[in-house]
Amino acid sequence: MNRPAMPTGSMEALAPRDPAGRLRHLLFLAAWLAIVAWGLGRGLGYYVLPYDQRPFAPQYDQLRPAGTTGLHYGALGILAITVGVAAYSLRKRTRALGRAGKLKFWLEAHIFLCSVGPALVLLHTSFHVGGLVAIAFWSMVIVTLSGVFGRYVYVRIPSTVQGQFASLAAIERERGKLLDVLRQDLGTKLDQVERILTSARRPPVRRFLPALVAAVRFDLSRWRTHRTLRGALQRAGLDAAARIKVEGLLDRQLELEHDLALSVPFQRLFRYWHLLHLPLAIAMFIVVAIHIGVAVAFGYGRVW
């Protein structure tokens, strides 16, 4: 996920928005929830039992970690994580796969598989972890949370059509173009909309923690700002078709205002995060490999 920044003076163009991105994210979320709901539905009565009562439950031989279904959960979880990490790493580092779809699609698949995997591993543990299993499980949780955090930072850094980090100059140019288009569409009515945009503008942030706070505040206040802008457009007397077009432009304009304020610290933060995430993932695989080796040594290695 490492994208170098281009020099500030270069004439790079920002990558266009992906209108289908939100739909893909919803589909991935729905698939994740369906898998988790299916697993919980199969064994909820067993999972809620006290640990000392589980050996007497009818589902014990299937759902215990060394049971038939429990081992399947563990194997599928590790397989999902391994495929997610290996496929994304190969796509990012292998020249031969450079044309095999956009990198962001591989990243989304990587995130999906590496979040489904820990959920399946949790079902494998039957919600009871201890000893080496606890070390393996919590290392997996730490890597997953690290990935979620990295993705939150990554998607908030604007990129160029070449996939590099965009410079502040490129964001400024894109912002100026959008304002010109809005001025053509709204004319003198742009003034009242600009006042709302100005109130949503934030000064540039240079430090990591204030940048994260500002990003969260932007996400939480975005719906309210959109509602205010929508009301201003209605009062401006635009017809429905023009309002839809202008709302889309204003949504992009708000993103650019946000990017201008946070781009520099988020680029630095992402580079530092990348240096931490990879060693954590390697440590996780080492601990998981030890756990699998111990399980095989004690006769629990036959899954199918």
pTM score of the predicted model = 0.72
Show the DSSP H helices in the chain as ranges: 21-47, 60-63, 68-93, 103-124, 131-154, 168-186, 190-200, 208-235, 240-297
Residue numbers of the domain that contains 33: 23-43+60-162+273-297
| Domain co-membership, 259 together with 282 | no
22, exposed or middle or buried, with CB in 10 Å at 0-12, 13-18, 19+?
Answer: exposed
The answer as to whether 11 is a domain residue is no
Contacts for 134 with CB less than 8 Å, ≥ 6 apart? none
In a domain, 8, yes or no: no
Q: What confidence score (pLDDT) does residue 37 get?
A: 94
pLDDT for 5: 45
84 lies in the same domain as 203? no
Structure tokens, 39? 């697993």
Identify whether 229 is part of a domain: yes
Give the sign of the dihedral formed by CA 111, CA 114, CA 116, CA 118.
negative
Domain contains 123: yes
Q: How many domains does the chain have?
A: 2
Question: What was the pLDDT predicted at 238?
Answer: 64
Q: Any bridge partners for residue 14, and if so which?
A: 160
How much is the pLDDT for 7? 42
Q: Are residues 35 and 113 in the same domain?
A: yes
For the chain, 304 residues long, the average pLDDT of each consecutive 10-residue run is 44 61 84 93 91 91 90 92 89 77 81 91 86 76 85 74 64 74 68 65 74 81 76 69 71 75 80 82 86 78 56
